[in-house]
Amino acid sequence: MSRLRGMIYTIDMALSLTLFMAALIIALLFLYRHGISHDYTSTDADLLIETLLSQGIPENWSSTTIISPGLLSSNGALSIEKFREIQNISYEDLKLLIGVRSEFFFYIHNSTSGIMINNTCGYGYTDIMPYNCSPIDAIISLNPSRIARRDAIIAIPPNMAYLTIYTWKK
């Protein structure tokens, strides 16, 4: 009689395990077919601001030696040379270097207008470039599903300025 009880528990466990595995497979198939929706715009904005507010790797990078872009010089101020040099990197290559999935645009400005460096105020998504000193209207015209914004105060000796980053999902 005790052998029969052991078999009942074994059968119970096998049936439970089979039902659990079937439910797990159905859930995974559902997620695979419908996708896992995640909004990366906010995370990408944080990653961009963190990356750009560094010296980059190597510290004195160029468009041919870059591993990770950063816009600051060793004294913590904006490096005009690095801002100019980042213009020589294609938008898609820069997205890959930084590791962002969202579209992005960043620009440098003071409280009243953009600060022109090398005939531009910013860099990023190609369709925004003609509007680079006031990009928000151009970004909104793209009808994005999500927009994230990050601001930082940076030094451009002898003054202070803002670095503003927008990321969005098409």
Q: Does one domain contain both 54 and 129? A: yes
Q: Does one domain contain both 28 and 103? A: no
Task: Give the range of the structural domain holding residue 87, as residue numbers without chain letter.
Answer: 41-169
Q: Tell me how many domains the chain contains.
A: 2
Amino acid making up residue 100: V
pLDDT tens digits in sequence order for the chain, 170 residues long: 455 555 567 777 788 888 889 898 888 887 766 655 567 899 999 999 999 999 999 999 998 999 999 999 999 999 999 999 999 999 999 999 999 999 999 999 988 877 887 778 889 998 776 666 778 888 888 888 889 999 999 999 888 999 999 999 88
Q: Does one domain contain both 30 and 95? A: no
Q: Does one domain contain both 32 and 89? A: no
| Strands (E) located in the chain | 103-109, 122-124, 146-156, 159-169
Does pTM top 0.75 for this prediction? no
Q: Does one domain contain both 29 and 72? A: no
Contact 28/144 with Cβ under 8 angstroms? no
In angstroms, how far is CA 109 from the centroid of its own chain? Answer: 21
Q: Does one domain contain both 72 and 148? A: yes
Q: Is the dihedral of CA 39, 92, 66, 106 positive or negative?
A: negative
CB count in 10 Å sphere of residue 36: 6
In angstroms, how far is CA 143 from the centroid of its own chain? Answer: 19
